[in-house]
Amino acid sequence: MLNIEYTYKTRVRYKDIDAMGIVYYSRYYEFFEAARSDMLREMGLPYGEFEKSGLMMPVVESHCKYFNGATFDDLLKINCRINQYPKARLKINYLVVNDQSKKIAEGYTVHGFLDENGNVRRAPQSLLKLFDKQNDQN
């Protein structure tokens, strides 16, 4: 069983809100991306380095469920979780809460692995080893 968790913090900026004063729904996918990129960097795999190895990790599926609206200047915590070793796909779960621990949103992204020719590949061993190392630290 894999249990990797990482928490990313961000503050809601004016550009993130809609005319009703709450975070526009698509911004949560941007929060997910920032959290995911930060998590991989902290694990020792900046996404740019991953691409230099000849692989890409595109989003092939995503979902977000909204519970409460976040507003301008709220501090948000995005918790990323990886609970399964990837084979040809990697699923990352997200939970967004505000600084009072109120649930704002939750969702997930599923990523495939492609080589430079666009061919589907299995998760690279280097990534699996990185996950093992991170899992041992948790």
Give 91 or 137, the one with higher predicted confidence: 91
Percent of the chain with pLDDT over 90: 80
| pLDDT, position 138 | 67
> CATH no. for residue 82?
3.10.129.10
SS (H, E, C) 72-98: CCCEEEEEEEECCCCCCEEEEEEEEEE
CA 136 → CA 3, 80, 93, 130, distances in Å?
A: 9, 17, 19, 10
| pLDDT over 90 (residue 30) | yes
Q: How many Å apart are CA 31 and CA 13, to the nearest integer?
A: 12
Q: Does the global pTM surpass 0.75?
A: yes
Total tally of structural domains belonging to the chain: 1
Domain range spanning residue 96?
4-137
| pLDDT over 90 (residue 3) | yes
